Structure 1
Amino acid sequence: MAKLIYTAIMSLDGYTADAEGNFDWSAPDEEVHAFVNELEKQAGTYLLGRRMYEVMAWWEDLDTAGEPQAIKDYADIWHAADKIVYSTSLDQPTTAKTRIERTFDAGAVRALKASAERELSIGGAALAAEAVKAGLVDEFRFFLNPVTVGGGKRFLPDGVGLKLELLDERRFGNGVVYLRYRNRNS
């Protein structure tokens, strides 16, 4: 059975975007980006909310000539992955290897986990909240940035208690800290 992994870059106070929806403070430097790439290349399928998909679709047509190696590598990872976008408003995908689902169906995601040969990555705090509440997330990967934003889009939903086991940690030169936890509830 494949694992469903929720990875996000967040502020020290637990937000993936500030109250205005900005997340420019979370841009990874090359060291962090290369590390993220090593993690993300293990995923065969991305489960994305509409807003996250619209942000990530930028990678589809990016001209990587002259870009740092970490950028080139992630563009390749993006192109190789299958993508499932959960949206009631998108008519059709704008990227290859992508399908649209109108609603999040926990049973369908369980079946996907059971049949997938590679890990599944979930992105977008609202979509991930649904998976967390349904007990589907097997691992959490936090990239804590040395900044607080005072409010905005929370990494984890309210009203859910989790028991986590620390599996890995790493400090980066720019002050970011990576923490990887197994969900002992799943």
Structure 2
Amino acid sequence: MARLVYGMITSLDGYASAAEGDLGSGAEDEEVHTYIGDTFRHVGTYLYGRRMYETMVFWETAHDLPDAPPHVVQYARDWQAAEKVVYSTTLESVSSERTRIERTFDPAAVRRLKAEATADLTVDGPTLAAQAIAAGLVDEYHLFLTTSVVGGGTRFFPDGVRLDLELVGQRAFDSGLLHLHYRTR
């Protein structure tokens, strides 16, 4: 069975999306970007909410950017090779290959996807991930903590859910970013 993985750039105070501005610094350098690409290279399917998909669809053409560095081209190629499922009631069409729209998040359907998949899946975006976490579907968590406290926004972990996790890896980067890798017990 494949694993369902949730990982995002996160502020030091636990927000995956800031109420105002961005999540701060630490994630923008080549070392971090390459590490994130290497960490998620094995993913076969991305599960997205509409807003996260609209952010990530940049990677459909990022390899064509003039002066795109090798780590950007590699991440774009990896992203393009994976399947994408976008959960949205409002999105009319997609602008990337290997992508389909589902109108509702169905935990039973995601369980079947995990059981049938030959490569891991990710759930991306804190709102969609909250549904997967509440349904007990997420097997691993990757927090990439920036050096900033943003004071509000959408939390990485949803309120009202208790999780007891096992730390399986950690790494500090020169930029100040920290990677924390947890698995469910």
Mapping of residues 97-176 of structure 1, within 5 Å: 97-176=98-177
Residues of 1 paired with 2:150 and 2:114: CA distance?
34
- Normalization by structure 1: what TM-score? 0.95
Question: Letter of the aligned partner of 1:57 in structure 2?
Answer: V
Question: For 1:17, what is the secondary structure of its paired residue?
Answer: strand
Residues of 2 paired with 1:95 and 1:166: CA distance?
35
Residue 72 of structure 2 corresponds to: 71
Residues of 2 paired with 1:161 and 1:28: CA distance?
31
Query: Contact between 2:23 and 2:146, CA under 8 Å: does it hold in 1?
Result: no
Query: Contact between 2:16 and 2:23, CA under 8 Å: does it hold in 1?
Result: no
Query: Contact between 2:24 and 2:147, CA under 8 Å: does it hold in 1?
Result: no
Residues of 2 paired with 1:93 and 1:60: CA distance?
11
Question: For 1:159, what is the secondary structure of its paired residue?
Answer: coil
What percent of counterpart residues are identical? 52
Displacement of 1:23 in angstroms is 2.7
Displacement of 1:39 in angstroms is 1.2
Question: Letter of the aligned partner of 1:138 in structure 2?
Answer: D
* Superposition RMSD in Å: 1.1
Residue 17 of structure 1 corresponds to: 17
Question: Alignment length, in residue pairs?
Answer: 183
Residue 59 of structure 2 corresponds to: 59
Residues of 2 paired with 1:41 and 1:65: CA distance?
23
Unaligned runs of 5+ in 2: none
Residue 81 of structure 2 corresponds to: 80
Question: Letter of the aligned partner of 2:19 in structure 1?
Answer: A
Unaligned runs of 5+ in 1: none
- Normalization by structure 2: what TM-score? 0.96
Residues of 2 paired with 1:24 and 1:64: CA distance?
25
